[in-house]
Amino acid sequence: MKAAGERRARCGPSIGHAALRRVALALLVAGCAAAFPCAFAAQIQPPPTAAQRSAAKAAALARDPRLLPSAAKDRWQGFDPDKIAAGDMPAALGDVREALADGDLPLAIAALHAALEAQPDFPPALHQLGVLYFRLQRYGDALVCFQRFLGVAPDRVAETRGLAHALYSLGRYAEARAHYERVVAAAPGDAEARRGLALARYRGGDAEGALADLNAVLESEPDHADAWTWKAQVLLDLDRPEEARVAAERARDLAPWTSRPWFVLSTACTDLGQPKAAQAASERFQRLAEVDQEIRRLEARLEYEPGDLAARRTLVESLASVGDRRSVRTQLARMLQQRPGDVALRIFALDVLDGLGDVEAGGLTARDLERVGAESAAAWKRLEAWYAKVRDRTKQIEAGERWRRLSRP
């Protein structure tokens, strides 16, 4: 449940803002219109029920981007994102920002639809809508948005690698390749587009061309683990297992918590007649692959249900089990942001970071726990253990004293 203060802050600056929430999103500030002071409205309006929230999301996901209104011809001719007139900016973009800050993609999509109905074909909104549909793995919808974006802003080819990504994800490899080529021509430094081009070439049977593109990616981004993995795979297809092994080992060293480098490494070792090394890599792959599957499932769920705390907690545990420190930090930050007053969650976060040996993020979490759990015995008990572990004797003593004091009956 959100705090009243948070709801007040969300009431926002304008009637339009609140009205949009009421009419289009059916969210908690439905009564926060001009006739009521926001603070008062926040007190009298109950928070949205799960069913209301679920209905709002369902309505957002039922929207079809093909049905969005079109702008007048040449309305956005010569569009320059650095020179957008204030009057052109749809008010609903504020809702988009808020929804994105909450990690709530379906609500952000609803707000973008509202923005595009108010300001048809507004290029940044079309582009952002394409990005969000892509993240939700709605590739056909993403494609529609990127194509419309390119239709109204034909000079912005460099920003449309998402269009090629969508084509690729739909299995339309030849079209994806053609568009990647356009993007790379317009933005030669776009490593992600170059990587996409490599994959599209590979899917089309052009392994040599794919290898050249992957080499170009690695020249600009030598620590691109995924590009190293793909390079290893392409080399295997070209019957160059020794080079494939080297590339796979590089990928493994860069991202040892992901399963795929181990898979390719195992295959390379098999091709090289190194059964023991192949078996060792295979066993590591199989352990990681089981976790990968769970992580993919949870990540997909959380894109649609960002408030599912139990799922996010399981995701954090899965990520921690394979040592993916960076992703653990990201997910924990999201959890703590969603539950600003939750002491138990901060103790959980500290446990996870402690287990990973992440002293830096653990220290930040400990300070947050001191603040949020100032009156919690459990918080100070956990903090005492943390400060003992990081050998901060002063803080350890202080935490111990607080714990004992708060534990007294």
Partner 1 sequence: MVIAPLLLLPVLLGGPVPAPLFTEVGARALPGVTTLCGSQEKDWIVEVNGGGLALGDFDADGDLDLVIVDGSTVERVEKDQPGNPPRLFLNDGRGIFAAAPKEWAIAPGRWGMGCATGDLEGDGDLDLVVTEWGRTRVIRNEEHAGFRETTAEAGLASLTEWGTSAALFDYDKDGRLDLAVVNYLAFDTRTIGKRGAAACRWKGHDVMCGPEGLTPQHDRLYRGLGDGRFAETTAKAGFMPSAAGFGLGAMTLDYDRDGDTDLYVANDSTPNFLWENQGDGTFREVGMARGVSHDANGKEQASMGIAAADVNGDGRDELFVTNFSGESNAFYVSKGAGYRERSSPAGLAGPSIQLLGWGTHMADFDLDGDLDVTVMNGHVYPQADLPGTDTSYAQVPQLYRNDGTAKFRDEPLAATGPLVLRASAAGDLDGDGDLDVVALSVEGPVRVFRNDVVHGAGTHWLRVRLVARGANRDAIGAQLTVVAGSATRRCEIRTTGGFQSAVPAEAHFGFGADAKADTLTVRWPSGREQILKDVALDRVLVVQEAEEAR
**b/e 265-275 (16+ beta carbons within 10 angstroms → b):** bbbbbbbeebe
The C-alpha torsion from 122 through 128 and 133 to 137, rounded to 10°, is 150
Burial label for 22, CB within 10 Å (0-12, 13-18, 19+), is middle
Closer to partner 1 by Cβ: residue 41 or 60:
60
Q: Among residues 75, 135, 301, 339, which is the contact residue for partner 1, using CB under 8 A? A: 301
Task: Decide if 105 contacts 136 (C-beta within 8 A).
Answer: yes
Element at 336 (helix H, strand E): helix 325-338
Long-range contacts (CB closer than 8 Å, 24 or more residues apart) made by 349-355: 349/316, 350/382, 350/383, 350/386, 351/382, 352/316, 352/317, 352/320, 352/328, 353/328, 353/329, 354/386, 354/389, 355/320
Q: Among residues 305, 342, 351, 370, which is the contact residue for partner 1, using CB under 8 A? A: 305
- Check residue 289 for interaction with partner 1 (CB under 8 A): yes
How far apart are CB 259 and partner 1 at their closest, in Å?
6
How far apart are CB 169 and partner 1 at their closest, in Å?
8
> Of 21-40, which residues contact partner 1 (CB under 8 A)?
none
Task: Decide if 275 contacts 259 (C-beta within 8 A).
Answer: no
- Check residue 339 for interaction with partner 1 (CB under 8 A): no
Closer to partner 1 by Cβ: residue 9 or 300:
300
> How many residues lie near partner 1 (CB under 8 A)?
48
Cα within 13 Å of Cα(245), Cβ side: 15
Q: Among residues 119, 128, 160, 233, which is the contact residue for partner 1, using CB under 8 A? A: 233
Q: Among residues 270, 274, 314, 338, which is the contact residue for partner 1, using CB under 8 A? A: 270
- Check residue 61 for interaction with partner 1 (CB under 8 A): yes
> Of 161-220, which residues contact partner 1 (CB under 8 A)?
169-173, 202-205, 207
Task: Decide if 171 contacts 204 (C-beta within 8 A).
Answer: no
- Check residue 259 for interaction with partner 1 (CB under 8 A): yes
Instruction: Considering only the stretches 14-22, 278-286, 315-323, 389-397, report the one whose residues sit in contact with partner 1 under the rule CB under 8 A.
Output: 278-286
- Check residue 8 for interaction with partner 1 (CB under 8 A): no
Amino acid found at 159: E
Residues that bind partner 1 (CB under 8 A): 57-58, 61-64, 106, 133, 136-141, 169-173, 202-205, 207, 233, 236-237, 259-260, 262-264, 266-267, 270-271, 278-279, 282, 285-286, 289, 292-293, 297, 301, 304-305
